Amino acid sequence: MGTQKKTFAKNGNYIKDIHNFIAKEQLIHHGSTVLLGLSGGPDSIFLLHVLVQYQKDTSFKLVAAHLDHEWRDNSAVDAQFCQQTCEKLGVPLISQKMSEIKFDRKFDGSRESSARHIRRYYFESIIQNKAKAHIALAHHAQDQQETFFIRLLRGASLSGLTSMSMQDGLYIRPLLHIHKKDILEYLNTHNIAYLTDPTNKSNTFLRNRIRNHVIPALQKADNRFDNNFAIMLKRLQDTELFLQQLTAKTFKDLIQHKEGASHINLNLNKLFALNRVMQHRVILYWLCTEQVSFVPTESLFNEILRFLKQPGNNIHYVHSTWAINKKKQCAEIIFTP
C-alpha cells in the first residue's frame, strides 16, 4: 500500500468516528439488545469489531446470528469460522442451518431474494420477545449504490429507490456511510481474518454485474461519483420523508369517522380532488394501515381508482382475503371469510 499518508481506515480515530455516528443517529440505546447478522464476510466481521468496541462506551447486549443456507458443500466451515471469531471476542453466537428452520409462510422470488426474506425471518424470530431490540446489518455505501441501480432497473418508485436507510423499524445499518475499500483496508491493516465469497465475482447475478461493471465504469467516468451519489440519495430520502409526512396528513383529512364503524372510511370526493400521484400514495397508505395482503404495482392502484370512480354502490374483490366496499361517496376495506 506504500508509505503515503494515513487514509480514513488507517486513522486511529476511525472506529471512534463510527461510534460517534452511531451515538449521533441514536441507533443503539442503553440497555438494548443488538443482534448482528454475521456471515463471516468482511462487512459483518468489521461491524462485529465496531460493536464490540462500542460496548466499552455504551451498555448493551451484543449477540451474533449466523444462518447456514447450505448452498455450498463447505458452508459448515463458514459457521465454524463465525463461532471461533465470536468466541475470541466473547460474543454469544446463535447458528442454525436453513434446513432446520420451520417456516409458517412461503417465500417467493429468486434464490437471493428468498434468502434475504428467510434471514429476516430468522433474525426476527430470535428477538421477537425481547424489548428494546435491534437487528444490525452491515450494509455499506456500495451496497446502497448497488441496491439503488437494481431497483432503478426494475422500475421502483421513489420510496423503493430510497428505502435502504440507517434505521428501519427493528433494523439498523451503522455502516451505510462507510466505503467498502475502507472496511477492507481496516481489516487488512489490523490483520483481522474474514471470509470471501467466490460467487461475488460471478456475473450471473444482476447485483454482481452492477458491482463489477456498472459502478466501476461510473467511478472511472467521473471521480466525483461516490460523493455526488451520496448527496443525491440524501436529497431523494429527504423528499420521500416529506411526501410520507404529507401523505399521512392528507390521509387523516380524508377519513370519515362513523360511530361504531370497525373500518376506515375514505371520503372519495376528497380523494378524487387530489393530484394523481397523491391519490396513489394515499391508497398505498390506506392498504398498509389496514394491513391487507397486496403487491404495490401501478396496475393495482389504477384498478382500485377505476372501481372507486364507477357510479353506484358496489363491492370489488381485490384479493382472496379482502375487498373494497363502495357506498355512496365513501369506501372501506372489508375482509372476506
At residue 111, the pLDDT reads 64
* Domain limits, the chain: 14-221, 238-335
Mean pLDDT by 10 residues, the chain (337 residues): 44 82 94 96 97 93 90 81 97 88 64 78 88 94 96 92 88 94 94 88 88 96 96 95 97 79 86 96 95 90 95 93 93 90
Closest CA to 323 of 302, 311, 312, 308: 308
At residue 98, the pLDDT reads 79
At residue 1, the pLDDT reads 35
Phi, psi of 279 (to 5 degrees): -60, -45
Expressed in angstroms, the distance from the first to the final Cα of the chain is: 66
At residue 107, the pLDDT reads 59
238-335 CATH, one of 3.30.465.60, 1.20.1090.10, 3.40.630.10, 3.40.50.2300: 3.30.465.60
Using CB atoms within 10 Å of the CB of residue 249, give its burial: 0 to 12 exposed, 13 to 18 middle, 19+ buried: exposed
At residue 5, the pLDDT reads 41
Are the CB atoms for 37 and 116 separated by under 8 Å?
Answer: no
Q: Residue 216: what residue type?
A: P
Cell of 222: 467521473
Classify domain 14-221 at the CATH class level.
alpha beta
